[in-house]
Chain A
Amino acid sequence: DVKVTQSSRYLVKRTGEKVFLECVQDMDHENMFWYRQDPGLGLRLIYFSYDVKMKEKGDIPEGYSVSREKKERFSLILESASTNQTSMYLCASTPSVQNQPQHFGDGTRLSIL
């Protein structure tokens, strides 16, 4: 069965800290995604990666960066955390075949104090 694992379910950090959110998938999928989810706004795409060391900006990349050194792992980095980055973060993966859905992790609820 498909498995996308996010390293933390809950995380509390302070303003200005550098924050790493980790995501691992075990399906050998080419594509991986980071979203943030806020009430009333649905899911918004931050960054995605279609191959190792490849990345593209999504709809709201400001304040974030990503790293994909290995196919199974996709990291989201908050360079200097701010309170407006308090949110639920969801990682997903999908193969390059068009008719396949994205598979999601359980999410990380991040609070920036």
Chain B
Amino acid sequence: AQSVTQPDIHITVSEGASLELRCNYSYGATPYLFWYVQSPGQGLQLLLKYFSGDTLVQGIKGFEAEFKRSQSSFNLRKPSVHWSDAAEYFCAVREDYKLSFGAGTTVTVRA
């Protein structure tokens, strides 16, 4: 069965600084990978997705992620963080039509 690991439970970053969130997956075939963001009290919003092709994918809100098959990773990045990026971020892998989620990374943005 597939699994997803997000090694960082909590990250604090200064506004304007860069952000990288780590995600490692365990899956035998070509994975369908996703990053979601959850603001406090809200549902999950899709940031970006990877299925095939270019390993660097662009998403909404200025986020991007890079798929590295050799490292089984799909890390999320943003060059310059805004205060509104404070949220919880989830990496997920799809098998059939089910998703397996990582435990999430909470991002705090300091002024």
Do A and B interact with each other, yes or no? yes
With both beta carbons as reference points, the residue of chain A lying nearest to B91 in the complex is identified as A42
> Which chain A residues border B46 with CB–CB below 8 Å?
101, 103
Are the C-beta atoms of B32 and A99 separated by less than 8 Å?
Answer: yes
A41 to B102, CA, bound (A): 8
> Which chain B residues border A109 with CB–CB below 8 Å?
41
In this complex, the interface size class of chain A, counting residues with CB under 8 Å from chain B, is 20 to 34
In this complex, the interface size class of chain B, counting residues with CB under 8 Å from chain A, is 20 to 34
B90 to chain A, nearest CB (A): 7
With both beta carbons as reference points, the residue of chain A lying nearest to B6 in the complex is identified as A42
A85 to B103, CA, bound (A): 19
With both beta carbons as reference points, the residue of chain B lying nearest to A56 in the complex is identified as B98
Given known contacts A42-B103, A43-B90, is B42 in contact with A96 (CB within 8 Å)? no
- Whether a CB of chain B sits under 8 angstroms from the CB of A106 is yes
Contact mask for chain A residues 35-79; partner B; CB cutoff 8 A; 1 contact, 0 none: 000001111010010100000001000000000000000000000
> Which chain B residues border A45 with CB–CB below 8 Å?
98-99
A50 to B9, CA, bound (A): 32
- Other-chain residue from A42, A58, A90 in contact with B43 (beta carbon distance below 8 A): A90
With both beta carbons as reference points, the residue of chain B lying nearest to A59 in the complex is identified as B100
The residues in A between 78 and 113 inclusive whose CB is less than 8 angstroms from any CB of B are: 90, 92, 94, 96, 98-99, 101-107, 109
Are the C-beta atoms of B43 and A98 separated by less than 8 Å?
Answer: no
> Which chain A residues border B99 with CB–CB below 8 Å?
33, 43, 45, 92, 102
- Whether a CB of chain B sits under 8 angstroms from the CB of A31 is yes
> Which chain B residues border A96 with CB–CB below 8 Å?
97
With both beta carbons as reference points, the residue of chain B lying nearest to A38 in the complex is identified as B103
Please name 14 pairs of A and B residues whose Cβ atoms are closer than 8 Å in the assembled complex, sorted by A: A30-B97, A48-B98, A58-B98, A92-B44, A98-B94, A101-B46, A101-B49, A101-B94, A103-B46, A104-B36, A104-B44, A105-B43, A107-B41, A107-B42
